[in-house]
Amino acid sequence: MKFPVRLKVMKRVITVLTLAVAILSVSVSAVAKPRDMSGEIAVAAERIRPKLIEWRRHFHQNPELSNREFETAKFVAEHLRKLGFEVRTGIAKTGVVGILDSGRPGPVIGLRADMDALPVKERVDVPYASKVTAEYNGQTVPVMHACGHDTHIAILLGTAEVLNGLKDELTGKVVFIFQPAEEGPPAGEEGGAPLMVKEGVMDDPKIDAIFGLHINSQTEIGKIGYKYGAAMASSDWFKITIKGKQAHGSAPWDGIDPIVTATQIINGLQTIVSRQSRLTTAPVVITVGKINAGVRENIIPEELVMAGTIRTLDPAMQTEVHDKIRRTVKSIAESTGATAMVEIDTKTLVTYNTPELVKRMLPSLAKAAGKANVMEREWTTGAEDFSYFGTKAPSFYFFLGGMPAGKDPRTAAGHHTPDFYLDDSKLDVGVKAFCNIVFDYAAAQ
């Protein structure tokens, strides 16, 4: 008589266990497959599109040079405080950091925008064109957002607003980094990403992965470009001082001509690129951009100073090129009886996109722009000091289109030029990209 009772009890136990396993399976499934937030992100980003354009045009009309982004930083900090973020100012002189803490365990994700403008006179006929002038290295110069940093600020502010509105769905922390002096600090000053890293922006809180974007005036709006591995070049600035012997221009045999020596050195520098660098590994560029010598047509000067830039996309090649420049300059100068000194100053490292991170985040970019609008691009010999953040954590830097739809890229004005122009009607694509990256990265942890 007891056996049937035991059987009933066992059946009940089995039923309870079955239900428990089912509930556990549902719970595990829910954890394994977090809710896709791309729909909510798209709605929120499109809603604030007018704000993005308004902010961008405000920054465009009120540009500030490197390490002088006082009003820009104030605007950014006030907005982040209104959102309730922890806000830190005065980092790397004028930098601002805002921290969005979800209050739940999760990764710490860094998002970065640069804030500085350039000493360029705007030639574009738009109502919000810059009329600003400022002092740059002792000179009064016009100031223009001729590289699109104004769009970067607006996009990151919009990202902060959208993510704050979806805070209940977030895990971990998001660190919003508004960086000064990407274009390089004034003479005699530190600045930019190297100084932010030096001051601990990547360490408190410790950032697990960092992301950045750059608008591109020759990529159609709504499109996103990316590259695995080396994406942008290192940038070194060099200065070569040649010492000769002054003489009358009618009797060059009485002197040592630093100008003739310099012309031979310039040709020698180009053979480093064309005959000594393994260009199948990565590109190399050596450009002399400035030469100063002489005061009168019939006087051979005693000294010549020339300066330029070196661009490489491989760290080993960067070191090799530096050695070859020093050797070439020294040998050619000695052959003419002159002496020469070479100074090389590294401004940026190679901007390197961690391949595993790129692969993981491509679906996030596709959610933002549509799969057909996300494409792999070639590397560029342009440079970015975002590279310094990548020395502290896995990093991914991608490109957002800003060229009007249908325009021929070959006719679009390049960055750092007076005619630089951006269509700002789709800045929400950048906001969607950043927001999807944050949610998708956290979900994968």
Average pLDDT over residues 336-346: 97
306-331: per-residue pLDDT in tens? 999 999 999 999 999 999 999 999 99
Whether residue 35 is predicted with pLDDT greater than 90 in this model: the reply is no
Whether residue 390 is predicted with pLDDT greater than 50 in this model: the reply is yes
Q: What is the pTM of this model?
A: 0.89
Strand partners, 380: 232
62-76: per-residue pLDDT in tens? 999 999 999 999 999
Average pLDDT over residues 12-31: 48
Check: CB of residue 368 under 8 Å from CB of residue 436: yes
Check: CB of residue 173 under 8 Å from CB of residue 205: yes
93-120: per-residue pLDDT in tens? 999 999 999 999 999 999 999 999 999 9
Whether residue 11 is predicted with pLDDT greater than 60 in this model: the reply is no
Is the peptide bond between 409 and the residue preceding it cis, with omega within 30 degrees of 0?
no
Question: What's the confidence (pLDDT) of residue 111?
Answer: 99
Which class does domain 234-348 fall in? Answer: alpha beta
Torsion over CA: 48, 54, 57, 58 (sign):
negative
252-271: per-residue pLDDT in tens? 999 999 999 999 999 999 99
Q: How many CB atoms lie within 10 A of CB 200?
A: 11
Question: What's the confidence (pLDDT) of residue 445?
Answer: 85
Whether residue 200 is predicted with pLDDT greater than 90 in this model: the reply is yes
Query: Directed axis angle between helix 70-82 and helix 149-165, to 10°?
Result: 10
Whether residue 12 is predicted with pLDDT greater than 80 in this model: the reply is no
395-418: per-residue pLDDT in tens? 999 999 999 999 999 999 999 999
355-373: per-residue pLDDT in tens? 999 999 999 999 999 999 9
Whether residue 29 is predicted with pLDDT greater than 80 in this model: the reply is no
Question: What's the confidence (pLDDT) of residue 18?
Answer: 53
Whether residue 431 is predicted with pLDDT greater than 80 in this model: the reply is yes
Average pLDDT over residues 218-244: 98
Domain boundaries, given as residue ranges, for the chain: 38-227+377-443, 234-348
- Nearest CA to 416 out of 183, 180, 159 is that of 183
Backbone angles phi, psi at 435, to 5 degrees: -65, -45
For 285-335, give the DSSP string.
EEEEEEEEE-SSTTEE-SEEEEEEEEEESSHHHHHHHHHHHHHHHHHHHHH
Mean pLDDT, all residues of the chain: 94
Which class does domain 38-227+377-443 fall in? Answer: alpha beta
Q: Please state, in angstroms and rounded to a whole number, the distance separating the CA atoms of residues 186 and 194.
A: 14
